[in-house]
């Protein structure tokens, strides 16, 4: 347990950051899963619309340093490849 006042504040901040990071990461993964389901059903228009949201969520995760740049690039590339297969 933190003893000093500064350590207590740092602990509170880390808990807040953790909550934000988990939110960003789970949003990116939820949208990715939803997009994969749409691709599996073959709904092209909805998949293309959701692709924009997926890219945005992944980019926000990179901005918050939840994901690395290369991981995000790989995920976006694979998702766009799936969406392109529909056409």
How sure is the predictor about 87, in pLDDT bands with cuts at 50, 70 and 90?
A: confident
Angle between helix 5-41 and helix 44-63 axes, rounded to 10 deg: 160
Spell 2-17 as b/e; 16+ CB within 10 A means b: eeeeeeeeeeeeeeee
- pLDDT attached to residue 2: 82
pTM for this structure? 0.84
Note the pLDDT tens digit of each residue in 11-67. 999 999 999 999 999 999 999 999 999 999 998 999 999 999 999 999 999 999 999
- pLDDT attached to residue 16: 97
Ordered structural domains, the chain, with CATH: 5-85 (1.20.58.110)
pLDDT above 90 (res 1):
no
């Amino acid at each position: 347990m933190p003893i000093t006042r500064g350590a207590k504040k740092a602990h509170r901040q880390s808990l807040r950051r953790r909550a934000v990071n988990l939110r960003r990461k789970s949003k990116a993964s939820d949208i990715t899963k939803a997009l994969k389901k749409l691709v599996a059903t073959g709904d092209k228009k909805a998949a293309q619309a959701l692709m924009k949201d997926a890219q945005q969520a992944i980019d926000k995760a990179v901005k918050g340093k939840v994901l690395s740049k290369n991981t995000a690039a790989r995920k976006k590339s694979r998702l766009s490849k799936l969406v392109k297969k529909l056409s």
